[in-house]
Structure 1
Amino acid sequence: MFKELVELGRDLEAQGKLPPVGFYSYTEPIRWVVHIWPGPPLKVWLEEVELNIPRPFDGRTSAIRAHPLADEAGYALGADKQKKGLDKRAAEKHRVFRELLEKFLRSSLVCDPALREAAGWVTEVLEKGLVQGDPRFGEVQSKDWVSFMPEEGPLAGQHLFAHPEVRTFWVVEAQERSAQLDKQGQPIKGECAVCGSFGPLLEKIPLKVKLFSAAPIHSVNADAFVSYLAGRDAFKKGHLGLCFACGDTASRAFNYLSEHPWHRKNLLRDKNKADCLANQIAVYWLKAPAPLQVEDKPIELEDLLNSLGSLMLEELTQKKVQVPPADLAQLDRLLELPWKPGAAGLRLDAYAFYLGVLSPNVGRIALREWFSVSLEVLKENLRHYLQALTLVSPRGDESRPVSIATLAEALDSPEPNFTRSLLRAAYLGYRPSAGLLVKAVPRLRVLWTKGKRDRPDEERQRLEHIQALTALLKLGISYGKEDAVNMEELDFRRCSPPYLCGRLLAVLEEAQQRAANFKLNTTLVDRFYGTASTAPASVFGNLLRLSTLAHLPKVGREVNLMVEEILSRLDEVGGFPRTLNLSQQAEFALGFYHQRAYFRATKGKGKTNESNQNQGGETDEQQV
């Protein structure tokens, strides 16, 4: 992940979307600019401004460490005035600032004579205390940021700290401050794991990254991945060997992703515990060496990324919508169109999709998952995944896939591995975890047996969860199989005993409802779904006798023919199973759901000729 973050950071910096290495966009603006005329006589003018531009950064908190040619007034000018009292460390801060300025002037990295001359003017201004003679100096607070600007020569009107050679000097200086030291106090040197350059290796990255709170990023604490930078106690000290430039670039790129709504999704979040490992946040982005075309038309990469991330709609309890979510059906349609690079000589596998799932913890961030997949492979993976998740609605009026956030809410489980299993299936093409069926089957059983809710909003949510859980079961039993499309809605050809048993229970419930003119709030499903879905042979005999006596004589020919057709097929495949295993219970649930949705879709539309569905497999008299 570090390598990909560094590549992203360099691209963003080249586009002007990130500050340079070692620079940071502070919340506090530059409040004062010291304008310098070399003379003679040497003159200054203190101008009050409000400039929000990136400045040097080394993660300074309470330690006294200066930045070159731009810093707080306590450092740059020795100003000690504060809102409450005086800054007692202002003199020490100013001494450190001037020492860094002298080090800068001695550095072999400073080759521009105009820069060296202008920095010399700053030194002379500070030695003579000229700024303190400005009538506005009394307004300067110790925490106000100050910059220096020459008003003559090649650099006139430019902030000196923004000069390229100042940036180069600062990277070297910041690397020295952040280096891991040996027992003799010397920097440990080695090859950077990302760029391969030889030099001091970081002890820690100064710029922290933000999920909910700030923390530094480090390498994985596993023996297989460490450089033994801090010794052989790898489990505790598994730092990845990075140079300052790569570590800082990775952190800046990470923060860009984390702060950008196009690149971040909160998959699971405990709002009472921001630094809890149960929280899961996805950050994702595209590697695109050239524009991309879909069906010979250019597509904005932001739009494509929004579509690819639509599977991960944020947790449904979050009310604030930051960006318009892409519709999953829209993504499904997009996947059916041809994609190709917008530049000659490129293949689709040169484009990549990256995704990391992270969890915050006190003082660190844990990387739970890392996906790196070419767009060519990703396109097929997503197509198969959405195909396996697409299911007709409970009303039978439309078929659509379900987002991972909806699936997670329907599962009602704090287990974070379920969400990550779905992400692996969607983006990497892995088979869904068997644990999803273990959780979804009993959860769905509870929703069916508790029956219809009195409040409309609660009933609507129950049906949404039923659809999501049934889609999850379909994913578990049909992913990667050819019949995934056929299982989107009622499949009249399917002769699997569990599927037929599920259909039969739905038909018997329909007969009960029709016999009572749909005035029942409680049906046989509330009482018998659990047993019928686990041990069909033990319950269907009694249900058929009850229905034959009380319900079927009142409902006409359509439902009776359907019962006969299902029983005939069950006889052909060996009758009612004694017990059903977990995957068979999932297939039972699918048959039950399909048949129910079919009834609701055809309600009030007259009889439907089942022979059309069976493509000649049944007689014309069998109309359902």
Structure 2
Amino acid sequence: MSALAALVRAYGRMATRGEVPPFGYSQEKIGFLISLNADGTVAGPPIDLRLGEGRKKTARALAVPRPTKRTSGIAPNFMWDKTAYVLGITAGEGKRTAQEHQAFRDQHAAWLAGTTDPGLLALLRFLDAWTPERFAEWGWSEEMKDQNLVFALESERLRNVYLHDRPEARALWARLMAGRDKTEAICLLSGERAPLARLHPAIKGVWGAQSSGASIVSFNLDAFTSYGHEQGANAPISEAAAFAYTSVLNRFLDRGSGHRLQVGDASTVFWAEATEQAAADVAEQMFASLLAVDENTESKKVGALLEKIAQGRPVSDLKPELPPGVRFHVLGLAPNAARLSVRFYIEDDFDVIATRYLRHLERLRIEPPPHEPAPSLWRYLIETAVLRKSENIAPNLGGDWLRAILTDTPYPLTLLSSVIMRLRVDHDVNALRVSLLKSILIKNFAMEAPVALDPDFTDKGYLLGRLFAVYEHIQEAALGRNVNATIRDKFYGAAAAQPRKVFALLGSGAGNHLSKIGKQRPGHRVNLEKAIGAIMEMMEPGDDPFPTSLSDKSQALFTLGYYHQRNEFFRKSDSADSAAVSETAQ
């Protein structure tokens, strides 16, 4: 099944639950309501429909007749619009505001001609009497400017019945949609013969795309067309199907919908389908929690899953807890000029997708773990970016990584090179970066990379990383931690990439530091010399212990070995401090 067909199916299920607007309507951000008396006079100051307080106010989403798709022309919406069209008022320069307002008046006079509905007559009377100068005369709020407006009769306002919801308005809107010249053909999504959508409704909420919305399906140049077809006729999709898939996407892409996550530049939506809606809800909640989409979505069942993963439980033990018989969909979208590109679309049984993700979490497991209990994908990705800024994450990296995770394919090697580059630059060897490198070693190179310090792991890169950590610890033991620049600050990048250039110098410096340690704590000096000797004995006999260069894979192992050995020193130091405190207390 294609992504669009799956979205059309989702629309059918969501429409029965009232989660998406009916055909011909869409959820739009509405800021203010103008309440009218039956004679067209204004019942009072416009009512602020926005949610929140102060500057954080956001317009409310209401189901209104779907907007006209505007490019450069003037085209009013039916029964609602922004203030430039409805009132002839805008906060900007407004070079054509007068024309927009006149078009709104003229078009509604034509649309509503002959109506006897009290609400629609009230709107016509209001438009006949309104002049833009009244906005300032009546002291209406400046915050209204450029907001979307709707109307209601004062007698129905408290029941939240808007003019566009009145039966006569709904019937008129249905006739207006049906009265347009339309070409009929077999719809590619439904398989039924129906009027085709010439232009598809805009999709909003994709990060980096135009705020007015963009399209997945669009043909606006001759080079994109075939056999003389125009616009949507090149990929025949019925108006109903186009409305369905765009309505669902707009619902999923809403902030706080619980169906979206941002992975790099890929705006990703997900949904489940099952015989029982309760099973689909559990699957969606579990997926959202696993990917740390929203802390508030985590259920007790998901919390238990994550706790078991942290304890090292194998995925096979957790699979019985996954809801059976659920089909799961994940769609990644990214901006591409005025259109949207589909980065990936994954459809599979939920237990298959969840198991793949749980295996990914297993590959990330490291000791000691990150301070955050369940870092999100975004949290990992910013560790690859310059200055840890989202805008500096490599293009395509987030989407490619998520696709690899959910399809159980090798991770993008740009992830490996990006982490190594950041380590060379800032030398910040933290749990998030190390766990990323470990997961790549396991997935892409089929290696058994250790979770915690493994004294028997003989890979040269790992051993050199451990040795570097020992040299750093020797420096700290001799000079303390308040030195201007540690050997990690000076030599980490070179030691990981070109060991031969650095380790002879490090060994010489360690010898001087050991002499200083021996004068004060001879026993500690002996233990550190033993640590160096134990690591060197693990090297292959007759092999050069310090090669000219290390591959990216070996540099990842170098980082892993360094992280394990350094934290082993911290662990022992903490244990010694605890023992000293205990003895003092006695």
Instruction: Specify if TM > 0.5.
Output: yes
Q: Tell me the residue number matched to 1:490.
A: 453
Partner SS state of residue 372, structure 1: strand
Q: Tell me the residue number matched to 2:400.
A: 421
Gaps in structure 1 of 5+ consecutive residues: 36-43, 73-79, 102-118, 152-156, 178-185, 269-278, 314-322, 449-461, 609-624
Gaps in structure 2 of 5+ consecutive residues: 50-59, 90-96, 133-147, 310-314, 386-391, 519-523, 579-586
Q: Which amino acid aligns with 1:247?
A: A
**Residues 1:408 and 2:422 aligned together:** no
Partner residue of 2:363 out of 388, 413, 418: 388
**More off after superposition, 237-246 vs 188-197:** 237-246
Give distance in 2, aligned partners of 1:89 and 1:220: 27
Q: Which amino acid aligns with 1:242?
A: I
Q: 1:507 to 1:150 in 2, by over 3 A?
A: closer
Give distance in 2, aligned partners of 1:235 and 1:522: 67
Structure exhibiting the larger radius of gyration computed from Cα positions: 1
Q: Tell me the residue number matched to 1:379.
A: 354
Q: Tell me the residue number matched to 2:9.
A: 7
Partner residue of 2:568 out of 598, 605, 612: 598
Residue by residue over 1:255-310, the C-alpha shift from the partner in whole angstroms, topping out at 9 and shown as x without a partner, is 21222322333444xxxxxxxxxx543333333442567xxxx9855632431331
Cα shift at 1:341: 7.3
Give distance in 2, aligned partners of 1:147 and 1:605: 71
Partner residue of 1:308 out of 290, 309, 312: 290
**Residues 1:369 and 2:344 aligned together:** yes
**Residues 1:174 and 2:177 aligned together:** yes
Give distance in 1, aligned partners of 2:87 and 2:480: 84
2:7–2:244 CA contact under 8 A, matched in 1: yes
Q: Which amino acid aligns with 1:423?
A: L
1:257–1:264 CA contact under 8 A, matched in 2: yes
**Residues 1:587 and 2:536 aligned together:** no
Q: Which amino acid aligns with 1:200?
A: P
Q: Tell me the residue number matched to 1:431.
A: 410
Give distance in 2, aligned partners of 1:235 and 1:507: 70
Partner SS state of residue 209, structure 1: coil
Partner SS state of residue 285, structure 1: strand
Q: Tell me the residue number matched to 1:54.
A: 63
Q: Tell me the residue number matched to 1:273.
A: none
**Residues 1:263 and 2:259 aligned together:** yes
Give distance in 2, aligned partners of 1:329 and 1:132: 53
**Residues 1:246 and 2:246 aligned together:** no
Identity of aligned residues (%): 19
**Residues 1:332 and 2:309 aligned together:** no
Give distance in 1, aligned partners of 2:366 and 2:357: 16
1:3–1:194 CA contact under 8 A, matched in 2: yes
Give distance in 2, aligned partners of 1:372 and 1:560: 56
Cα shift at 1:536: 2.9
2:416–2:440 CA contact under 8 A, matched in 1: yes
Residue by residue over 1:559-579, the C-alpha shift from the partner in whole angstroms, topping out at 9 and shown as x without a partner, is 222212111111448341523
Give distance in 1, aligned partners of 2:186 and 2:535: 70
Partner SS state of residue 426, structure 2: helix
Q: Which amino acid aligns with 2:560?
A: L
Residue by residue over 1:39-67, the C-alpha shift from the partner in whole angstroms, topping out at 9 and shown as x without a partner, is xxxxx999959799634335176656785
Q: Which amino acid aligns with 1:444?
A: L
- Listed as ranges, the matches of 1:454-603 within 5 Å are 462=428, 466-479=430-443, 487-551=450-514, 554=518, 555-572=524-541, 574-578=543-547, 579-603=549-573
Q: Tell me the residue number matched to 2:215.
A: 217
Q: Tell me the residue number matched to 1:612.
A: none
**More off after superposition, 256-265 vs 398-407:** 398-407
RMSD of aligned C-alpha atoms? Answer: 4.9
Cα shift at 1:8: 2.5
**More off after superposition, 487-496 vs 282-291:** 282-291
1:437–1:473 CA contact under 8 A, matched in 2: yes
Q: Which amino acid aligns with 1:332?
A: L
2:474–2:513 CA contact under 8 A, matched in 1: no
Give distance in 2, aligned partners of 1:90 and 1:403: 47
Q: 1:480 to 1:216 in 2, by over 3 A?
A: closer
Q: 1:160 to 1:504 in 2, by over 3 A?
A: closer
Q: Tell me the residue number matched to 1:41.
A: none
Give distance in 2, aligned partners of 1:29 and 1:324: 30
Give distance in 2, aligned partners of 1:282 and 1:355: 6
Give distance in 1, aligned partners of 2:75 and 2:478: 84
Partner SS state of residue 543, structure 2: coil
Q: 1:292 to 1:566 in 2, by over 3 A?
A: farther
Give distance in 1, aligned partners of 2:496 and 2:481: 24
2:384–2:418 CA contact under 8 A, matched in 1: yes
Residue by residue over 1:192-213, the C-alpha shift from the partner in whole angstroms, topping out at 9 and shown as x without a partner, is 1211221221121245534360
**More off after superposition, 352-361 vs 383-392:** 352-361
Kindly tell me the number of residue pairs found equivalent between the two proteins.
503
2:467–2:532 CA contact under 8 A, matched in 1: yes
Q: Tell me the residue number matched to 2:54.
A: none
Give distance in 2, aligned partners of 1:341 and 1:167: 44
Cα shift at 1:21: 0.9
Give distance in 2, aligned partners of 1:176 and 1:308: 48
Q: 1:161 to 1:535 in 2, by over 3 A?
A: closer
1:12–1:18 CA contact under 8 A, matched in 2: yes
Q: Tell me the residue number matched to 2:141.
A: none
Give distance in 2, aligned partners of 1:247 and 1:210: 17
Give distance in 2, aligned partners of 1:172 and 1:339: 52
Give distance in 2, aligned partners of 1:382 and 1:131: 57
Give distance in 1, aligned partners of 2:372 and 2:106: 70
Q: 1:467 to 1:175 in 2, by over 3 A?
A: farther
2:266–2:332 CA contact under 8 A, matched in 1: no
Partner SS state of residue 477, structure 1: helix
Partner residue of 1:355 out of 331, 354, 358: 331
Q: Tell me the residue number matched to 2:198.
A: 203
Q: Which amino acid aligns with 1:369?
A: F
Give distance in 2, aligned partners of 1:5 and 1:247: 10
Cα shift at 1:499: 0.9
Q: Tell me the residue number matched to 2:419.
A: 440
